[in-house]
Amino acid sequence: MNWDDTPPTGDEAASERLVGASADGEDQAVEAALRPKSLDEFVGQERVREQLDLVLKAARARGATADHVLLSGAPGLGKTTLSMIIAAEMGAPIRITSGPAIQHAGDLAAILSSLQEGEVLFLDEIHRMSRPAEEMLYMAMEDFRVDVIVGKGPGATAIPLELPPFTLVGATTRAGLLPPPLRDRFGFTAHMEFYAPAELERVVHRSARLLDVDIDADGAAEIAGRSRGTPRIANRLLRRVRDYAQVRADGVITREIAATALGVYEVDGRGLDRLDRAVLEALLKLFGGGPVGLSTLAVAVGEERETVEEVAEPFLVREGLLARTPRGRVATPAAWAHLGLVPPQAGATGGGQGQLFGA
Ligand SMILES: Nc1ncnc2c1ncn2[C@@H]1O[C@H](COP(=O)(O)OP(=O)(O)OP(=O)(O)O)[C@@H](O)[C@H]1O
């Protein structure tokens, strides 16, 4: 929370949002309890599940270690969960680390050399690893071997170190940022999509059961519809609605309770929060629907440019409410409809600034 006049940075704004996709402290505490433990329990992502099931069953039948797996997709879609399921299905232990935690090749060598045979190494944010570590990983993935460099300068020598076979599960939100030599070393790559509302309803029902929360079908549908295609957000909204149901009602989550509770938290029927709506409202009411430059839009809502661009816009674009064009940000007809506003007459759209501030 900012108490001064400094606009929040993108990261701060993202982390204090109820509909932010990254995990906050409370999420981390609860998520362990809510994680599906097997592929059968994992909701949705049918194609990924089927493909992964084949990869793991075949490896088990051969008595071999599973191929390296790359999982790409937005935060909160279940990449960590899936890596744990891979380990569980293979009956293997799992080690969890992340790209930013591996700054030096030596950090990676230490982890790799302490792996047990068949162990799953989950490397989150693999695109943020340092270049020397990345190069060491190429050889480790392909030959289960690393060269540890001892000494410096002309006297430095490379000592080869054999590794036990292991399965690397890499996770990234940006598969496009991975260098091709790294991408090519994964035997199986899965892209995780946003979840359909019906799938999120199943996530909500499952989590409600585990948290011992009473919820009916319409209540689950209401939460699912506001969860931006993301299980982590669905679980978080469920917890907030549960609080409301306990304090202000009889504890049972119905559609009405869910809608009222999420209204209190300023998450609207489509999952937009205060920031998203502020951006849309400025675009529509101040600039007639655009086009307007990002910086101008950011000033109008009192936020940093990065916050608008990285925190609010991706979801608005995905929802078809806002378009990024070479001339600036433009609202779509769906944006006008969502805020219950009437667009300017045909032919006048796009001239909003002129209408308001011109002549
Ligand atoms: N398919 C699913 N079925 C049920 N619950 C799920 C599913 N996917 C994710 N979840 C729940 O969503 C939460 C977030 O999942 P997870 O931590 O695996 O996401 P992630 O993609 O690894 O996120 P990040 O990129 O931020 O690490 C977990 O608590 C998990 O219980």
Active site residue 218: no
**The token pair that represents 34 in the structure block:** 């809510």
Distance CA 310, CA 246 (A): 35
Check the annotation: does 80 bind a ligand: yes
User: Is there an atom of ligand 1 within 6 Å of 207 CB?
Assistant: no
Check the annotation: does 152 bind a ligand: no
Quote the strand ranges of the chain, DSSP E. Answer: 69-72, 94-98, 120-124, 145-150, 157-162, 167-172, 188-191, 322-325, 328-331
Radius of gyration of the chain (CA): 24
pTM: 0.87
Mean pLDDT (whole number) for 181-203: 94
User: Is there an atom of ligand 1 within 6 Å of 72 CB?
Assistant: no
The mean-pLDDT minimum among 42-51, 259-268, 344-353 falls in: 344-353
Helices 79-90, 46-62: axis angle to 10 degrees equals 30
Higher pLDDT, 31 or 284: 284
Provide the mean pLDDT of the chain: 89
Mean pLDDT (whole number) for 315-330: 95
- Nearest CA residue ID for atom 9, ligand 1: 78
Check the annotation: does 119 bind a ligand: no
Active site residue 173: yes
- Nearest CA residue ID for atom 15, ligand 1: 78
Q: State the span(s) of the chain assigned CATH 3.40.50.300.
A: 45-191
Q: Which pLDDT band, with edges at 50, 70 and 90, does 357 fall under?
A: very low
- Nearest CA residue ID for atom 8, ligand 1: 78
pLDDT tens by residue, 205-243: 999 999 999 999 999 999 999 999 999 999 999 999 999
Determine which helix (DSSP H) or strand (DSSP E) holds 108, and give its type and residue range. Answer: helix 105-113
Phi, psi angle pair for 123, to nearest 5°: -115, 95
Residue in 24, 28, 125, 232 to alter for ligand 1 test, most ligand atoms within 8 A of Cβ: 232
Check the annotation: does 34 bind a ligand: yes
| The CATH number fitting domain 197-264, selected from 1.20.140.10, 1.10.10.60, 1.20.1250.20, 1.10.8.60 | 1.10.8.60
Q: State the span(s) of the chain assigned CATH 1.10.8.60.
A: 197-264
Instruction: State the CATH class of domain 45-191.
Output: alpha beta
User: Is there an atom of ligand 1 within 6 Å of 134 CB?
Assistant: no
Q: State the span(s) of the chain assigned CATH 1.10.10.10.
A: 274-338
Higher pLDDT, 355 or 344: 344
Q: How far is the CA of 122 from the centre of ligand 1 (A)?
A: 14
pLDDT tens by residue, 287-311: 999 899 999 999 999 999 999 999 8
Q: Which atom from ligand 1 is nearest to the alpha carbon of 206?
A: 4
Whether ipTM tops 0.90, in short, is yes
Mean pLDDT (whole number) for 270-284: 94
Q: Which pLDDT band, with edges at 50, 70 and 90, does 352 fall under?
A: very low
- pLDDT for residue 104 is more than 70: yes
Please tell me the predicted confidence (pLDDT) of residue 152.
Answer: 83
Active site residue 79: yes
- Give ∠ CA 7-13-18 in degrees, rounded to 5: 140
Q: How far is the CA of 32 from the centre of ligand 1 (A)?
A: 10
Active site residue 232: yes
Q: Which member of 80, 172, 254, 332 is catalytic? A: 80
CATH of domain 274-338: 1.10.10.10
Please report, rounded to a whole number, the percentage of residues in the chain having pLDDT higher than 70. Answer: 92
- pLDDT for residue 11 is more than 60: no
